[in-house]
Structure 1
Amino acid sequence: MSTSASLAAPRRSSTGSRGTLQKGQQTRAAILEAALGLASQIGLEGLSIGALAEVMQMSKSGVFAHFGSREELQISVVREYHNKFEEEIFMPAIREPRGLPRLRAMFERWVKRVSVEVDSGCIYISGAVEFDDRPGPVRDALVGMVRAWHQALEKAIRMAIDEGHLKADADPMQMLFEIHGLILALHHDARFMRNAGALERAHRGFERIVSDYLAVPGTTRPAPAKTAARARAR
């Protein structure tokens, strides 16, 4: 199951306009890819139609025709980042067995992405700094995407509890808080402080968190009552 809903309904076109539509979609995709790279370097706030037009060697009106406004461009970048995040981290991880193996895969892939982003930057983290106190559609988009990822992590933690890998009284939200804290610390130490060994510390921190919540072997536990929603997620 995807961590996000479909972003838009598919467009319908006549046969005569299909080629033009496909070309327009390809151009928009190329602009969006360039915008994502630019936003990773200078932040969402620094992103503008003019800056992107210069990178793409296009006219401002040409870029504007695909997005309509700077705000729409920023939101599109957030969505594109989330799509890539989902493809690289969430989708491969859910192929792992339910429970702790899946949760560990989600964390390890998350750490791997952060390590790649040391030189470019994380849209989620930089966006949170830029828009934490600025209400509006861009902030709403960022919050929605991060919340979707947190919900996926929380679900994985709850599955690990149901599978008997973690203690029955483990607090999923506390564990999620601690795991996310490791990612923020990793990004800070690796990108800002340039401290060596940050990746290894993040991995050790995760194992320490897991050990605190790990179920004791041989402990008897009642079978969890599955809600309809949880049953459908199998």
Structure 2
Amino acid sequence: MSPRRSVTDARDTRSAILSRGVELATVEGLDGLTIGRLAADLGLSKSGVLGHFGAKEALQLAVVDTAAEQFGRAVVEPSTGTTPGLPRLRALCEAWLIHLTHPGGTFFLAAAAEFDHRPGPVRDAIAGMSALWQRDLRLHIRLAVLDHTLEGDADQILFELTGIILAANHALHLTRDPQALPHAHTALTRLLTPT
């Protein structure tokens, strides 16, 4: 096997491990993510999985990074062509709601609940990703307030947006409410209707 092929194979294997890791961690939690489970699911040896990460915490951190990349592709990138401010904010929120329905789409909501009281690098990584996302949303809320398409305090609007997403996630996945998305769309429309 050529060195180039072995590098490509290693990269592809790592990518497969991390994608499966996001799916498993979304359902079973980051603590439930084990080298053995990933190896069994992907038909790899434990040492083959361990060789990519070295330790469980390194695996967890890599899974957090992968989930962030997936979130960026699914939620942030599709909205980049919209006008900053209220149009972009709406596009981001709609994409965020849709993302909740996909495998791995609730990763950060689940991980935040799992690690909110635990100090350490994994919690810090989750909190850091959350802070970046809130910063982006707050920016577009502030732009909408500045151009008078929204009224109110940016932090309060952000708080309410987050509440809508959390309620939608709860209704979608815990109570399996078939009206979860329509209710969330209605709440977002009320909150993000121009003044």
TM-score (structure 1 length as normaliser): 0.78
- Structure 2 CA distance for aligned equivalents of residues 103 and 61 of structure 1: 44
Question: What is the total number of aligned residue pairs between the two structures?
Answer: 194
- Residue 166 of structure 2: aligned partner: 184
Show CA shifts across 1:6-29 (max 9, x none): xxxxxxxxxx84333222111111
- Residue 72 of structure 2: aligned partner: 86
Identical counterparts, % of pairs: 40
Mark the structure with the bigger radius of gyration.
Answer: 1
Aligned with residue 183 of structure 2, among 201, 205, 209: 201
TM-score (structure 2 length as normaliser): 0.93
- Structure 2 CA distance for aligned equivalents of residues 54 and 48 of structure 1: 10
Query: Does structure 2 conserve the Cα–Cα contact (< 8 Å) formed by 1:34 and 1:52?
Result: yes
Query: What pairs with 1:54-65 in structure 2 (closer than 5 Å)?
Result: 54-65=40-51
Query: Does structure 1 conserve the Cα–Cα contact (< 8 Å) formed by 2:26 and 2:111?
Result: no
RMSD: 1.6
> Structure 1 regions of 5+ residues with no counterpart?
1-15, 216-234
- Residue 143 of structure 1: aligned partner: 127
Query: Does structure 2 conserve the Cα–Cα contact (< 8 Å) formed by 1:182 and 1:202?
Result: yes
- Structure 1 CA distance for aligned equivalents of residues 70 and 136 of structure 2: 15
Query: What pairs with 1:1-234 in structure 2 (closer than 5 Å)?
Result: 17-117=3-103, 122-167=106-151, 170-211=152-193, 214-215=194-195
Which residue identity does 2:190 align to in structure 1? R
- Structure 2 CA distance for aligned equivalents of residues 35 and 124 of structure 1: 13
Query: Does structure 2 conserve the Cα–Cα contact (< 8 Å) formed by 1:100 and 1:160?
Result: yes
- Structure 1 CA distance for aligned equivalents of residues 109 and 166 of structure 2: 8
Show CA shifts across 1:150-184 (max 9, x none): 111011111212333223xx211110000000000
Query: Does structure 2 conserve the Cα–Cα contact (< 8 Å) formed by 1:102 and 1:156?
Result: yes
Query: Does structure 2 conserve the Cα–Cα contact (< 8 Å) formed by 1:157 and 1:172?
Result: yes
> Structure 2 regions of 5+ residues with no counterpart?
none
